[in-house]
Amino acid sequence: MTKHWFHSYLLQNYSKNRNFALDVGCAMRPYHDDYRCKYIGLDLPTRTYDNLKPDIFAEGSKLPFQDNAFDLLVSYAVIPYVTHIDQFLDEMYRVLEPNGVAIIIIMNLRGLALHPTTEFKNRYSSGILNQKLKEHKFKSIIRKNIKSLLWSKYYDRTSVYAYSVVSPIK
């Protein structure tokens, strides 16, 4: 997998000065070297892993962690596949500390259209993603970092990705 420079930037920037992160859907941890804090990688047990494996196998809709256990949560290319999206987002909210940050990167509608035979449970534009997160008590904080804001808008309009950087309202 080729790493995207902006994904690395987001992870490096938002994991700086954090204590403990959760990477939901970590797969083979392509962004492992970009974390600036300790983290746990979580993924489904049904995948095949060659290199770095997840620390924990579980579903995102039933996270095996205490409330407020993490101050950073990362989800890369997971949300389109999630069957129980409301439970998934509620679990993200539950395990994230009040001042925590969640970085969510998905394929936008343009990206999903490139895979016409794949069954996606959730087809979101960046606007729909942010509305869904708002329904689950998250607020966008991407405007606090002008570089993140500008590049996320640029890539949302010109590439296959949509970005959200949010914090829980607790």
Q: Quick one: what percent of the chain has pLDDT higher than 90?
A: 90
The enclosing domain of 83 has a CATH number of 3.40.50.150
Whole-model pTM over 0.75? yes
Tokens found for residue 167: 């914090």
Count of domains observed in the chain: 1
Its domain, for residue 133, covers: 5-168
Distance CA 151, CA 57 (A): 33
- Beta strands at 96-107 and 138-140: parallel, antiparallel or unpaired: unpaired
pLDDT digit string, tens, across residues 72-118 = 999 999 999 999 999 999 999 999 999 999 999 999 999 999 999 99
**Bridge partners, residue 39, by sequence:** 21
Residue 79's SS3 state is: helix
